[in-house]
A and B are shown apart, each in its own frame.
Chain A
Amino acid sequence: MKTLRIYATQNLGLLIAIAIFLVLYLIYATQLSRFGMNVVLQNANEVVPLALVSMAQTVPVLLGGLDLSVGPLMTMINCIASEFLAGDIWSVLFGCVLCLVIGSACGLLNGCIVVYGRIQPIIATLATGAIFIGVALFVRPTPGGKVDGDLSWALTNDINELGYTYGWWEDLGWFGLIPLPAVFLVLVVLLVWIPFRRSATGRGCYAIGSAEGAAYMSGIAINRSKLAAFTLAGFFAACAGLYLTLLTGSGNADAQQAGSYTLNSIAAVVIGGTSLFGGTGGCIGAIFGAMVIRAISFIFRVIDENSIFGFLASPLLQSLVEGAILLLAVSLGAARVFRVRNRLTLFT
């Protein structure tokens, strides 16, 4: 019981994000006449790129910085991947690995600028973000690409469809209906994020965000943790770029889209309970934050124009309402302010 209490108080932001998501998604599901696993799959496909970018954003935020280059880096990887995800299994595999390596290297570059150049993350990544968009435009001046169609179809569907496309297996029952994007996301969390969080380097990132001076005095390898954090951010952004490529089957150096991914990722991170001052939170929260953001836009598709909320259905109002809901969601996490009896604790 005490364990539960401690868990709840230390992960309040995450729990709030999950609750908001469930409420929003329930509204969506009940409003939709033909709700089924195919809808879930479609939703999952829309969530995963933002979820991965938000994971990328989480790591620098834990250090107490912001990474403005996650969206541009994702776009750059999208353009590069659109050149490589074709041919036989080996060349596709090579393309994937290449993209992940490039993404991680770009993250490492950010890290080096922050650590050795002693430049604040927000301005360092503003600059590198512009560079990444530049590279993306150079690689792919016009949208397009030669992504293998089967591959794109198979990897963005459910488990059954993957078997059908390549003739590996037949109907697997309910198990086969699990969307692959969800599987990818879980794999990235289990194989990359959880081990990182439980490594000494990952612990170091939390320590730096919490109190950098104390972390230094505790003999933590500060530079290594920071470099690792930015590299990991690059890796997650590359994952997002790869998935976006599979989803769209093409590359597009869209600077505006890159910017909106970056800003949405910051929102997702905050909704997920990660403090912008660093030190608390995590990628799981960011994933649910991304789900909340997407769920808001799902709801807009199903509002009945004749209902009392019909006036909201106007696409002209969508941005306004989205912003209001975002503000509300973030405020719920800040509601603890009302319970604070010693005002000094607000500032520490």
Chain B
Amino acid sequence: MAYLQMRGIAKTYGGVRALTDVDFACERGSIHAVLGENGAGKSTLIKIIAGVVQPDAGTMTLDGREVQFSSPLEANAAGIVCIFQELSLMPDLSVADNICITDPPRTRLGLIDSRAQRRRAEELLARVGCEDIDPRERVRNLPLSRRQMVEIAKALGRNPTLLILDEATSALTSSDVTKVYEILHQLRNEGLSLLYISHRMHEIKELADTCSVFRNGRHIETFPKDAHTDHEVVQLMIGREMSHVYPPKPKWDTPPQPVLEVRNLSWPPVLNDISLTVGRGEIVGLGGLDGQGQRELLLALFGVLRGVQGEVLIDGRKTAIGSPARAKSKRIGMALIPEDRKTEGLMLPMSIGANISMAAMPMLTRGLVIDRSREAQRITEMIQQLQIKIGGVGDPVATLSGGNQQKVVIAKWLMTGARIVLLNDPTRGIDVGTKQEIYQLLRRLADQGTAILFYTTDYDELIGSCDRVLILYDGKIVRELVGDQITETNIVASSLNLSDQIERAAAEARA
């Protein structure tokens, strides 16, 4: 008998079927990957298991006993702990407070024992290999990758028997990922059940024992890890034959005419003396390990950072970009698809339409008022162009799935007619189908003459979609890869700033 057994689970959200008649089981001592496009029902499934939402129909047994959870607290008491994609940390509390929040150690008087709490936090942080994090520091002051490790430490502190990880490694640095893999394997060997949701195929290959594929709210198939090839798995997920993942790249005979030029840009201590050009119709990738200054470079170009040194040239003319409002102006025509669509990309309670037309507002205004009919027409065009799946334009954007929300963000900036598009990890946490559409879209934009600067943490995307790749290390561009040089070996080696050594080793091997 499986540890967790679900039978006939169904859930509808206001007429939309999120899950239909799902049977699902999860064993002890195994890592179980759940795959599916966004909107396939994975999130709803784990939310039901974790007690965040309640199923409309069906039963759930845990260790042979039937259970019903009306809150995360109850699921937690039964040993189910969830690490969600949206971080569940409280930014104003300290690391130790966050780790111990559910069940803090108490003194005899029943008050929180801050010393014991700090010790416990230190132990748990050491267990995930993050001794460098001070438990007294506020979570707000930690970078995203460190926060995610705190999140994992917090989950371990709750002694789970069933641990759910929802995109839990999406923001981690590669050294942290290695540590997390070790911990997860160790937990599995201790007999825990682990449910793992990820959009990264290589992670699943490395970690999972069993895989389950969901599509359109149904459980399609569960199979041992190596039973299907990648190609077959992707087909199961999207339910149709996949065309080429990446569109073909154009051939460059002469270098394109530069649109964006950066000379000696610095923002100490994060960015050091960065020079680059992005030409008309070119997709330039930014690579390297996470947190080497890529995000800050995009923010600096978009006028968000203060105290940036160096020169930025647009169409060969020196230009000062002091704010996003200036960056998007007609003269510059820049757009930034931000990293965190929930806080920097969208006004979640506002309508889909209002979000799409938000950045292009100055172009839609006649006199002092917004030209409503023109706005509506442009919104419809954008929705069609990007094939955004929506109920109505007036629905709050928060009701959309992650992939469609990202499309709304992109639509918002395309509507401004931007000539320079900066993208900050736009495919993070979105489904395969939408990812492909985004690759196609980027190439189409480039063919129309847009200059694109594309930061992604996924090496496959750099290889598949970029004409040139710049590798950042410690705030500097350490390597530029062009054409056939863009290979995984080269990217990984230069990300670790090892390229010289590897080339030397290769030269020695030849000699």
CB of B136 within 8 A of chain A? yes
* A347 proximity list for chain B (CB < 8 A): 343
* A214 proximity list for chain B (CB < 8 A): 87-90
CB of A343 within 8 A of chain B? yes
Q: Taking the nearest CB of chain A, how far is it from the CB of B362, in angstroms? A: 20
- Interface pick from B91-99, B239-247, B281-289, B432-440: B91-99
- B112–A199 CB distance below 8 A: yes
B101 is contacted by which of A6, A218, A341, A348 (Cβ under 8 Å)? Answer: A218
Q: A211's closest neighbor in chain B, by CB?
A: B90
Q: Taking the nearest CB of chain B, how far is it from the CB of A344, in angstroms? A: 6
B-contact 0/1 string along A199-243, CB 8 Å cutoff? 110010011011101111111110000000000000000000000
* B109 proximity list for chain A (CB < 8 A): 195
Q: A196's closest neighbor in chain B, by CB?
A: B111
A341 is contacted by which of B110, B140, B307 (Cβ under 8 Å)? Answer: B307
- A203–B111 CB distance below 8 A: no
- B111–A195 CB distance below 8 A: yes
Give the distance in Å from the alpha carbon of A220 to the alpha carbon of B97 in the complex.
13
* A213 proximity list for chain B (CB < 8 A): 86, 88
- Chain B 53-101 interface residues, beta-carbon cutoff 8 Å to A: 71-73, 76, 82, 84, 86-94, 97-98, 101
B90, B91, B98: most-surrounded residue (chain A CB, <10 A)? B90
* B98 proximity list for chain A (CB < 8 A): 218
- Interface pick from B13-21, B248-256, B257-265, B298-306: B298-306
A-contact 0/1 string along B148-172, CB 8 Å cutoff? 0000001000000000000000000
Q: A212's closest neighbor in chain B, by CB?
A: B90
- B72–A221 CB distance below 8 A: no
A-contact 0/1 string along B388-410, CB 8 Å cutoff? 00000000000000000000000
CB of B464 within 8 A of chain A? no
* A207 proximity list for chain B (CB < 8 A): 90, 93, 97, 101
B102 is contacted by which of A2, A219, A275 (Cβ under 8 Å)? Answer: A219
B71, B111, B137, B343: most-surrounded residue (chain A CB, <10 A)? B111
| Interface range for A | 20 to 34
Give the distance in Å from the alpha carbon of A221 to the alpha carbon of B101 in the complex.
11
B93 is contacted by which of A6, A210, A342 (Cβ under 8 Å)? Answer: A210
Known: A209-B92, A211-B90. A220 touches B111 (CB 8 A): no
- B112–A218 CB distance below 8 A: no
A-contact 0/1 string along B104-125, CB 8 Å cutoff? 1010011110100000000000
- A344–B71 CB distance below 8 A: no
CB of A3 within 8 A of chain B? yes
| Count of CB-CB pairs between chains A and B under 8 Å | 97
B-contact 0/1 string along A102-126, CB 8 Å cutoff? 0000000000000000000000000
Q: Taking the nearest CB of chain B, how far is it from the CB of A232, in angstroms? A: 15
CB of B52 within 8 A of chain A? yes
Known: A6-B134, A203-B104. A344 touches B73 (CB 8 A): no
A206, A209, A211, A213: most-surrounded residue (chain B CB, <10 A)? A211
- B114–A206 CB distance below 8 A: no
* B114 proximity list for chain A (CB < 8 A): 198
Q: A220's closest neighbor in chain B, by CB?
A: B101
* B76 proximity list for chain A (CB < 8 A): 219
Q: B138's closest neighbor in chain A, by CB?
A: A10
**Residues of B contacting A: mostly:** loop
- A342–B102 CB distance below 8 A: no
| Interface range for B | 35 or more
B-contact 0/1 string along A331-348, CB 8 Å cutoff? 000000000111110011
* B484 proximity list for chain A (CB < 8 A): none
Give the distance in Å from the alpha carbon of A195 to the alpha carbon of B323 in the complex.
46
CB of B500 within 8 A of chain A? no
Q: Taking the nearest CB of chain A, how far is it from the CB of B97, in angstroms? A: 7
Give the distance in Å from the alpha carbon of A221 to the alpha carbon of B73 in the complex.
8
Give the distance in Å from the alpha carbon of A206 to the alpha carbon of B76 in the complex.
21
Q: Taking the nearest CB of chain B, how far is it from the CB of A306, in angstroms? A: 47
Q: Taking the nearest CB of chain B, how far is it from the CB of A197, in angstroms? A: 9
Q: Taking the nearest CB of chain B, how far is it from the CB of A276, in angstroms? A: 13
CB of B132 within 8 A of chain A? no
CB of A245 within 8 A of chain B? no
* B454 proximity list for chain A (CB < 8 A): none
- Chain B 12-39 interface residues, beta-carbon cutoff 8 Å to A: none
- A206–B72 CB distance below 8 A: no
- B90–A215 CB distance below 8 A: yes
Q: B113's closest neighbor in chain A, by CB?
A: A198
- A279–B91 CB distance below 8 A: yes
CB of B344 within 8 A of chain A? yes
* A6 proximity list for chain B (CB < 8 A): 134, 136-137
* B305 proximity list for chain A (CB < 8 A): 341-343
* A278 proximity list for chain B (CB < 8 A): 92
Give the distance in Å from the alpha carbon of A220 to the alpha carbon of B100 in the complex.
11
Q: Taking the nearest CB of chain A, how far is it from the CB of B77, in angstroms? A: 8
A199 is contacted by which of B93, B111, B136, B323 (Cβ under 8 Å)? Answer: B111
B92 is contacted by which of A198, A216, A280, A340 (Cβ under 8 Å)? Answer: A280
- Chain A 306-348 interface residues, beta-carbon cutoff 8 Å to B: 340-344, 347-348
- A341–B93 CB distance below 8 A: no
CB of B267 within 8 A of chain A? yes
Give the distance in Å from the alpha carbon of A215 to the alpha carbon of B305 in the complex.
31
Q: B76's closest neighbor in chain A, by CB?
A: A219
Give the distance in Å from the alpha carbon of A217 to the alpha carbon of B94 in the complex.
17
Give the distance in Å from the alpha carbon of A220 to the alpha carbon of B106 in the complex.
16
Give the distance in Å from the alpha carbon of A222 to the alpha carbon of B282 in the complex.
51
* B267 proximity list for chain A (CB < 8 A): 341
Q: A204's closest neighbor in chain B, by CB?
A: B101
- A210–B92 CB distance below 8 A: yes
B-contact 0/1 string along A247-273, CB 8 Å cutoff? 000000000000000000000000000
* B93 proximity list for chain A (CB < 8 A): 203, 206-207, 210, 279
Q: Taking the nearest CB of chain A, how far is it from the CB of B378, in angstroms? A: 27
Give the distance in Å from the alpha carbon of A340 to the alpha carbon of B94 in the complex.
21
- B101–A342 CB distance below 8 A: no
B76, B134, B306: most-surrounded residue (chain A CB, <10 A)? B306
- B90–A206 CB distance below 8 A: yes
* A210 proximity list for chain B (CB < 8 A): 90-93
A216, A341, A347: most-surrounded residue (chain B CB, <10 A)? A341
Listed A/B pairs (19) with beta-carbon separation below 8 Å: A2-B134, A199-B112, A203-B97, A206-B90, A207-B97, A210-B90, A210-B92, A210-B93, A211-B89, A214-B88, A215-B90, A218-B72, A341-B305, A342-B296, A343-B306, A344-B299, A348-B91, A348-B140, A348-B343
A-B residue pairs, 5 tightest by C-beta: A279-B92, A210-B90, A210-B92, A219-B73, A217-B88
Besides the known contacts A211-B91, A213-B88, A217-B82, 18 further A-B residue pairs in the complex with CB atoms under 8 A apart: A6-B134, A10-B94, A203-B101, A210-B92, A213-B86, A215-B90, A216-B72, A217-B84, A217-B88, A218-B72, A221-B73, A278-B92, A279-B91, A279-B92, A341-B305, A341-B307, A342-B304, A344-B299
